[in-house]
């Protein structure tokens, strides 16, 4: 494949536009000139890395307990402050913690954070996101979660890492990793004090309903040792102009929402958690829940047609079968660019009837569908839904 004129090349990769930029690196869009595959490449500023002595920052290993407690106290205060304003970080990890010139901890990278307007009617968040080793069990379960409790779990993992020098949950296989997280299957090193162990065990409680709260953490005896409550200074400046500029942007219609159900047939890009959970061989639900004998019957197919065309074809194929199509809370997942996955799920009715319905429907959709075999599951109910 010929290289485009004027484009910078790094080895076999042809660099394009800048996707993101930080203090020490840029992320650029790139294309493999041999395979035409699209990738993202992170480019580090070598001079800045050397100047700020970042190469040796990971060589110290674990912190002493008093030092780890000091940073943990600052972390809890910062996270508590965010929660008091209705902001949930959702990606807390050591890589997102910075120290200023005075050694004061700062929380950074709020790219995955959620605001009050993103909480659904059930009072929970529903987007599965974060870094796998630090994510709370309830986030993986994909049934809704309290952002504050999930953030606190991540803080507990961070405390463990600061004191141990390694992760409490670390596996090369994601399924095994999630299974350990779900059961809080970890062991504290022998150099942890008994009071530190007790606190970590209460934070890394896989049941969010019984997990310790931030208010209780602040009252914990281990936490309170040497603790100085923070003073949040109010800058003596007027924010009227800033508020005026961002006033329109903060309108609820302009916020990034968890999932706005009334959006027309636009595809939802699947993240790694969702893609894994929809793979038959990697379905994680059996790892986290006792089977109650009441599960939904579902099948999936993929298509390269547009989302609107898929919905239109489903309507066309259903009507000759005597069905009235009602569009309600449907989702089409974009697995890859121009490749969409549709999940057809039985909301109720007889399992055999659902099988007959899907067989007839798939015949009418055969021109646009790469058909997957139905999953044999048992349930009671009545009607089908996408």
80 an active-site residue? no
CA distances from 327 to 51, 90, 300, 339, 384 (A): 58, 32, 18, 21, 12
The whole-angstrom separation of Cα 159 and Cα 189 is: 13
Is residue 277 within 8 Å of 285, Cβ to Cβ? Answer: yes
* Element spanning 40, H or E: strand 38-44
The whole-angstrom separation of Cα 222 and Cα 158 is: 16
- State whether the Cα torsion 79-85-86-87 is positive or negative: negative
Backbone angles phi, psi at 329, to 5 degrees: 55, 40
Tokens representing 77 are 């205060």
Is residue 310 within 8 Å of 332, Cβ to Cβ? Answer: yes
Q: Which of 136, 143, 140 is nearest to 120 (CA)?
A: 143
Backbone angles phi, psi at 39, to 5 degrees: -140, 170
The whole-angstrom separation of Cα 362 and Cα 344 is: 11
Residues in the chain: 386
* Element spanning 116, H or E: none
Q: Is 42 annotated as a binding residue?
A: yes
Is residue 130 within 8 Å of 91, Cβ to Cβ? Answer: yes
Tokens representing 363 are 């015949």
Single out the catalytic residue among 66, 80, 91, 146: 91
Q: Which residues, including other chains, have CB under 8 Å from residue 171's CB and lie 6 or more apart? A: 177, 180
Backbone angles phi, psi at 129, to 5 degrees: -150, 170
The whole-angstrom separation of Cα 229 and Cα 280 is: 50
* Element spanning 20, H or E: strand 13-21
Q: Which residue positions form the known binding site?
A: 42
Q: Which residue positions form the known binding site for ATP?
A: 42
Catalytic residues: 91
């Amino acid at each position: 494949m010929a290289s485009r004129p004027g484009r910078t090349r790094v080895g076999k990769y042809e660099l394009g536009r800048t996707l993101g930029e930080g203090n020490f690196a840029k992320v650029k869009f790139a294309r493999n000139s041999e395979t035409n595959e699209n990738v993202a490449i992170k480019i580090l500023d070598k001079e800045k890395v050397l100047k700020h002595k970042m190469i040796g920052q990971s060589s110290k290993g674990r912190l002493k307990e008093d030092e780890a407690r000091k940073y943990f106290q600052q972390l809890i205060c910062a996270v508590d402050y965010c929660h008091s304003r209705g902001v949930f970080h959702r990606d807390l990890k050591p890589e997102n913690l910075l120290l200023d010139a005075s050694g004061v901890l700062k929380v950074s990278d709020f790219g995955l954070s959620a605001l009050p307007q993103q909480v659904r009617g059930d009072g929970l968040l529903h987007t599965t996101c974060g870094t796998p080793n630090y994510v709370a069990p309830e986030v993986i379960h994909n049934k809704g979660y309290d952002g504050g409790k999930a953030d606190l779990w991540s803080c507990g993992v961070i405390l463990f890492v600061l004191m141990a020098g390694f992760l409490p949950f670390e596996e090369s296989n994601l399924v095994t990793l999630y299974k350990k997280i779900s059961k809080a299957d970890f062991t504290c090193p022998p150099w942890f004090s008994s009071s530190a162990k007790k606190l970590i065990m209460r934070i890394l409680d896989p049941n969010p309903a019984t997990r310790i709260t931030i208010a209780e953490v602040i009252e914990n005896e281990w936490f309170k040792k040497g603790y100085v409550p923070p003073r949040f200074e109010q800058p003596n400046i007027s924010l009227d102009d800033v508020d005026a500029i961002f006033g329109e942007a903060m309108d609820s219609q302009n916020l990034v929402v968890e999932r706005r159900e009334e959006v027309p047939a636009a595809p939802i890009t699947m993240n790694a958690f969702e893609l894994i959970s929809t793979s038959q061989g990697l379905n994680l639900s059996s790892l986290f829940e006792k089977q109650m004998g009441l599960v939904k019957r579902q099948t999936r197919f993929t298509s390269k047609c547009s989302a609107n065309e898929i919905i239109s074809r489903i309507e066309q194929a259903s009507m000759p079968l005597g069905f009235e199509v009602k569009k309600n809370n449907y989702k089409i997942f974009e697995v890859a660019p121009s490749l969409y996955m549709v999940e057809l799920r039985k909301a109720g009715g007889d399992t055999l009837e659902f099988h007959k319905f899907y067989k007839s429907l798939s015949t009418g959709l055969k021109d646009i569908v790469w058909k997957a075999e139905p999953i044999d599951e048992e349930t009671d109910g009545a009607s089908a839904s996408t």
